[in-house]
A and B are shown apart, each in its own frame.
Chain A
Amino acid sequence: MTAPDSTAPDLDSAWDLHPQVSVRPEPFGALLYHFGTRKLSFLKDRALLAAVQSLTTAPSVRAAFESAGIGAADVPRYQSALGTLAASSMVIERKQ
């Protein structure tokens, strides 16, 4: 795996937004709020927002990235960003 850090999700696994997380698009990207942990987070990038939003319908992280228009060269970076979100339970793995 080329993941830059250990928490980065496998590209072939399927993920969801945590059911207690609310996403609000903003001009610079988006704000995320987790009602369970009461933590606020933000996405500084519209492509990351698109990827996060398509997780639920996508069969895999790779597919979500593709539908968000993220090119192969950028994948490791976005995978790492997703790992950061996973670490704070903003996104969770969907068991098939």
Chain B
Amino acid sequence: MTILDAPPTGTAAATARATPAAPVKTQRLVDLFEYGLDSPICLTWELTYACNLSCVHCLSSSGRRDPRELSTAECKAVIDELERMQVFYVNIGGGEPTVRSDFWELVDYATAHKVGVKFSTNGVKITPEVARKLAASDYVDVQISLDGATAEVNDYVRGPGSYATAMRAMQNMKDAGFTGFKISVVCTRQNIGQLDEFKAIADEYGAQLRLTRLRPSGRGADVWDELHPLPEQQRELYDWLVANGENVLTGDSFFHLSAYGSALPGLNLCGAGRVVCLIDPVGDVYACPFAIHDEFLAGNVRSEGGFQEVWRNSELFTRLRTPQSGGACTSCSFFDSCKGGCMAAKFFTGLPLDGPDPECVRGFGEEALQKRKMDGSIPKPEGDHSHRTERAPRRGVPVTLSLTRPAHPPVSACEENPLAGFTPGD
């Protein structure tokens, strides 16, 4: 998943460079970033669609491995390219990336080539031994997914046993002395009330809390109506972030909430195709991790010119780097910080990309959603890799019938005789 966790701090020696007679307005970092960078600041790389879990809100509809996924050699070639492009680090996810048999080999290869790694995991492979190895590296960071501060809330979304798996992994990390690993929480209607408990868990394990937004992407589209926070919960989340935000990461997820008041820390910019992107397990490059759909597909790392060509010259990314129209939002006084919210959230709820976010805090998204529901036509996320968990078709249960009387009457549970069913001499 996302994206830009450490808001960059600018060092501008030249703010007063212009002569006093003609002061030049200092350009904000975010304005520079809107035109894109020579290389992404970081990118999300989903190494596999294989996963031991089947979280109901999975962004990439993961479950089964795609047989076309990049080979070890192809992954290493991508890492070589990222090194040449000086991509500082990659956010590796999936699926569950650690189930790839070459996962640790690829992590070692990346860090040896000065590409830092932060990987997201449900914790299934974080044994005490693995945790000790991870703790020894400066170039690896770990993010453990937890979507409920209690097993009840977490397992409702992530599946039975997933809370215990995550907690065991966190204990192993703590025991190994890995401080500052991340606990990554997707904020839902069911867990917004647990923010303080999440923080307490993070403190207990010496970890850092990371809160991100639920997106209607992948299987998330199916559960968004049920799981996305209610308007009053959004306010609760915003107030909590304002009060606790200093040490809590958000991957710049919540800039649509800035219309409640002051902007939250972070770039407050949709980085899709400008400062971030996604490489999926088969090498497809999308504008962002939440937009796995042909509409946001820029190219493939296997094509000529590789990832660099896609990043620098693809038609889609070039278009995303031109100034965007705010459409209906332009006249809103909060447009400068909210920027109309999240492109993927709009797309997968069927809203126009130049209109309000479905969770617009002023309620404009709500209105637009009502209209959309009248006329239907919502784009479906593409590429379903879910486990095939449908029940087998019901068939009759075979029953053996005998046409003759049994030799002994059946022994009922109420039979009081201690010798019932016992036939001497058998």
CB distance from B250 to the nearest CB of A (A): 15
User: CB-CB contacts of A27-69 with B at 8 A, as 1s and 0s?
Assistant: 1100101011011111111011000000000000000000000
Interface residue from B15, B32, B114, B138 paired with A28 (Cβ < 8 Å)? B32
User: CB-CB contacts of B160-189 with A at 8 A, as 1s and 0s?
Assistant: 000000000000000000000000000000
CB pair A35–B138 under 8 Å, yes or no, is yes
Which label, helix, strand, loop or mixed, suits the secondary structure of the A interface? mixed
CB pair A41–B8 under 8 Å, yes or no, is yes
A24-B39, A31-B8, A42-B8 known; A81-B88 Cβ under 8 A: no
Which label, helix, strand, loop or mixed, suits the secondary structure of the B interface? loop
User: CB-CB contacts of A3-44 with B at 8 A, as 1s and 0s?
Assistant: 000000000000000001010111110010101101111111
Nearest B residue to A80, CB-CB: B13
CB distance from B111 to the nearest CB of A (A): 9
Interface residue from B6, B13, B17, B114 paired with A22 (Cβ < 8 Å)? B114
Nearest A residue to B8, CB-CB: A40
Interface residue from B15, B16, B39, B88 paired with A40 (Cβ < 8 Å)? B88
CB pair B38–A48 under 8 Å, yes or no, is no
A42-B29, A80-B13, A84-B11 known; A24-B138 Cβ under 8 A: no
Interface residue from A31, A35, A47 paired with B13 (Cβ < 8 Å)? A47
A33-B88, A35-B138 known; A81-B13 Cβ under 8 A: yes
CB pair A31–B37 under 8 Å, yes or no, is yes
User: CB-CB contacts of B126-154 with A at 8 A, as 1s and 0s?
Assistant: 00000000000011010000000000000
Residue B396 at the A interface, CB < 8 A?
Answer: no
CB distance from A91 to the nearest CB of B (A): 10
Interface residue from B14, B38, B114, B116 paired with A26 (Cβ < 8 Å)? B38
Which B8-26 residues sit within 8 Å CB-CB of chain A? Answer: 8-17
- State in angstroms the CA–CA spacing of A28 and B32 once bound together: 7
CB pair A20–B138 under 8 Å, yes or no, is yes
CB pair A77–B89 under 8 Å, yes or no, is no
Residue A2 at the B interface, CB < 8 A?
Answer: no
B-side interface residues, number (CB < 8 Å): 29
Residue B248 at the A interface, CB < 8 A?
Answer: no
Residue B86 at the A interface, CB < 8 A?
Answer: yes
CB pair A81–B12 under 8 Å, yes or no, is yes
CB pair B37–A26 under 8 Å, yes or no, is yes
Residue B41 at the A interface, CB < 8 A?
Answer: yes
A24-B88, A27-B38 known; A42-B14 Cβ under 8 A: no
- State in angstroms the CA–CA spacing of A43 and B141 once bound together: 25
Nearest A residue to B29, CB-CB: A42
On chain A, the residues within 8 Å of B15 by CB distance are 44
CB pair A48–B16 under 8 Å, yes or no, is no
CB pair B86–A22 under 8 Å, yes or no, is yes
Which B99-123 residues sit within 8 Å CB-CB of chain A? Answer: 114, 116
CB pair A44–B37 under 8 Å, yes or no, is no
CB pair B116–A47 under 8 Å, yes or no, is no
CB pair B13–A77 under 8 Å, yes or no, is yes
User: CB-CB contacts of B18-52 with A at 8 A, as 1s and 0s?
Assistant: 00000000010100100001110100000000000
On chain B, the residues within 8 Å of A20 by CB distance are 138
CB pair A35–B86 under 8 Å, yes or no, is no
A22-B114, A33-B89 known; A39-B9 Cβ under 8 A: yes
- State in angstroms the CA–CA spacing of A39 and B16 once bound together: 25
- State in angstroms the CA–CA spacing of A27 and B15 once bound together: 17
A22-B114, A27-B38 known; A43-B11 Cβ under 8 A: yes
CB distance from B137 to the nearest CB of A (A): 10
- State in angstroms the CA–CA spacing of A81 and B13 once bound together: 5
CB pair B10–A44 under 8 Å, yes or no, is yes
CB distance from B190 to the nearest CB of A (A): 30
CB pair A39–B86 under 8 Å, yes or no, is no
Which of A27, A40, A43, A74 has the most chain B CB atoms closer than 10 A to its own CB? A40
- State in angstroms the CA–CA spacing of A81 and B15 once bound together: 10
On chain B, the residues within 8 Å of A48 by CB distance are 11, 13-14
A31-B41, A40-B6 known; A22-B88 Cβ under 8 A: yes
Which of B13, B15, B27 has the most chain A CB atoms closer than 10 A to its own CB? B13
CB pair A44–B12 under 8 Å, yes or no, is yes
12 contacts between A and B (CB under 8 A): A26-B38, A35-B88, A35-B89, A36-B138, A40-B6, A43-B11, A44-B12, A44-B27, A44-B29, A45-B12, A48-B13, A85-B11
15 A-B pairs besides A36-B138, A81-B12 with CB distance below 8 A are: A33-B89, A35-B116, A35-B139, A38-B89, A40-B8, A40-B9, A42-B8, A42-B11, A42-B29, A44-B32, A45-B12, A45-B14, A47-B14, A48-B14, A77-B17
B residues near A (Cβ < 8 Å) are: 4-17, 27, 29, 32, 37-39, 41, 86, 88-89, 114, 116, 138-139, 141
